Amino acid sequence: MKQVLLVFLGGGLGSVLRYLISKPANLFFHNFFLGTFLVNIIGCLLIGFILGLSSRNQLLSFNTTLFLATGFCGGFTTFSAFAFEKHSFLKDGELFNFSLYTIASLAVGVLAVMGGLWVSKYIR
């Protein structure tokens, strides 16, 4: 039960932070959904860093990793919003923005995970 509560609390905190970041950013760049892009990339970087710390250096306990990676990052990142926004591009016939957003999100997301893992190597 403790682990479920940790995921619940982490997810709630991640969701609130996602809202606070993505809403204002999406208002300024409404044609690209910059807020969702940013939180997904930041979330990829964070989960790479967290899981890197957890597996390489064992600086994080299982419960801390569960709270941060599964809970916080799970609530913070927004794949459902990402999919809906891509649908909006297709519906509006914006194939360039659809392609750019999809490729950039995947490529930069994977690079961010790799970056988080790399940075975690240097934490002792």
Q: Would you list which residues are annotated within the binding site for Na(+)? A: 74, 77
Alpha-carbon radius of gyration of the chain: 16
The binding site comprises 74, 77
11 Cβ contact list (under 8 Å, min separation 6): 70, 71, 72, 74, 75
CA dihedral of residues 50, 12, 29, 100 (deg, nearest 10): 50
- For residue 37, the Cα-to-chain-centroid distance in whole angstroms is 9
